[in-house]
Structures are given as C-alpha cells and as structure tokens.
Amino acid sequence: MKISEIHKTFKTMMDKNAESVAFGGCPAFLSEEIDLFLNQAYVEVICNKYTGTNILKVPFEGSVKRIQDLEGLVKTDKGISVKNNTKTTGDNVLQVENLLTVVASGSTPENDKMFFVSAVLHWGEDEDDKFSKPRTNAATIQMIDHLSSDKFLLTHNNSPWIPVPVATISDNTLNVFVDPITTGNNFTIDITYVKFPEKINYKTPDVNINEVPDRVMYEVINRAVLIALENIESKRTETKINLNNLQE
C-alpha cells in the first residue's frame, strides 16, 4: 500500500476530508501529525502481534496468519563474529555486542532490531585435535534468566557442563555460555530478529509499504485513527475501539 493511500484511508476513516471540515467536521491534522499517529500505531500493532496481547491471544508464529502477518519483518543476520574465545581468554562467555543496534563508522548507533527471536551458534573443531577431521558444528542457543546464568559461568570453583549453549541479554549484548571443554573455536552466530518497520513519511507518497500485507496496514490505520480520536477527545473513541476488536 502506498503512503499516499495510507494517508487517504486514514483521513476517510477520521471523516476529515476537506468537505467535512468545511461543514464543522473534525479539525484537520497536519501531515506530520498523521505520520506520527501512523508510525506509533504501526509499532503497537507489531508488538501486539508478537507478544500475543491481541484479541485472539495468538503470539508470534502461533498461527499461519500470524506468521504471514510478520514474515516480512523477520530477518536473520548470519556469520556474526563474537567477542572472547574460550581457548584464549580462559572463560566460557561469548559476547555479541550492539545486539539490537547498527553502528556505522562515524555515525550515531541506530536501533534496527525490535525483538530478538533466536540464535544459532556455529564453531569449528579445535585446531589442536589431530584425531578428528575439521568440521563445522552448530547448536541452537537457549535463552535463560540472569539468576540461572551463574550456574553456567566458568569460575575457579565451578566448571560447568553445558550440553547446549545458553544465553542472556544485557546492556544490548548477547552473552552466550558454552561448554569450556568440549566446544571448539572459530565461533560465529546467526541471529534471527524482528526488525523495526519502515517509517511512514508523507514526503514520499509513492513509496510502497510492503513489509506487511495490506490487511495488517488496515489494522495499523484503524489503530492510528483511535489514537487520533483520543488526541482530540472525540466521543467516537469508545465505538471505534469496539469496531477495532472485530479485526482479528
């Protein structure tokens, strides 16, 4: 759906075309304000679909429809290098810094990823192991809470056995705990995440927002209309909420 069509649909649902304003309709919003409502609604709809805080209580990948609703926003970055190495630093924690941000040289970090979904750890055989053929291994990382992570940390009085890599997220860093004995070297990680959607900007009316199906964009517009109605304290807010509940 083109941005010009999104704005036109929003105005129609608000009953805010030029004719209705002339006859005492709702006060007209600036294009910048409409963009603000739409982008806020876009993020809210995606969050609700991901977490399951919606009418059907269906979370991300909980149904075929939900998968198709968000599939255009799901991305995987492969072969990400990690900080630390169990054979060179003497610990068993691998780190991926700037997990949810993209940092270009000489620029301010940008928040590119909305939600972390999953990660797969890849590693090669220990170069000192002369009795096995070099090969690449892979394991899906399991997320754990920070309180449990102490059990997986290699210390002077704790040598954990970790059959499956586990991880926590803190300070925009993915901390992966691996077995200090059996796991090899040459680590890389594949990270799957839900990205932030494209910004809706009235200055580019011909840009087509195709990261989500049109049906999802209609949900976004409906949510934006509700936000706008609340902004002007309209009596339509309550009835609009009831209508929006029919979408799912």
Instruction: Check residue 24 and give its pLDDT.
Output: 44
Instruction: Check residue 23 and give its pLDDT.
Output: 43
pLDDT by residue for the chain (248 residues), tens digit each?
Answer: 999 999 999 988 887 554 544 444 455 788 999 999 999 999 999 998 888 877 778 888 888 888 899 999 999 999 998 887 666 667 889 999 888 887 655 556 567 889 899 999 998 755 555 445 545 689 999 999 999 998 999 888 888 899 999 999 999 999 999 988 877 778 899 999 999 999 999 999 999 999 999 999 999 999 998 888 887 765 566 655 555 554 56
CB count within 10 Å of CB 100 equals 20
CB count within 10 Å of CB 131 equals 4
Instruction: Check residue 22 and give its pLDDT.
Output: 47
For tokens 């002339």, the residue is 22
Contact 80, 191 (CB under 8 A): yes
Instruction: Check residue 110 and give its pLDDT.
Output: 66
d(CA 218, CA 207): 17
- Cite the DSSP H helix spans in the chain: 3-14, 18-22, 31-51, 64-70, 86-89, 146-149, 214-231, 237-244
Within 8 A by CB and 6+ apart from 232, the residues are 26, 27
Instruction: Check residue 107 and give its pLDDT.
Output: 57
d(CA 220, CA 212): 10
Instruction: Check residue 132 and give its pLDDT.
Output: 52
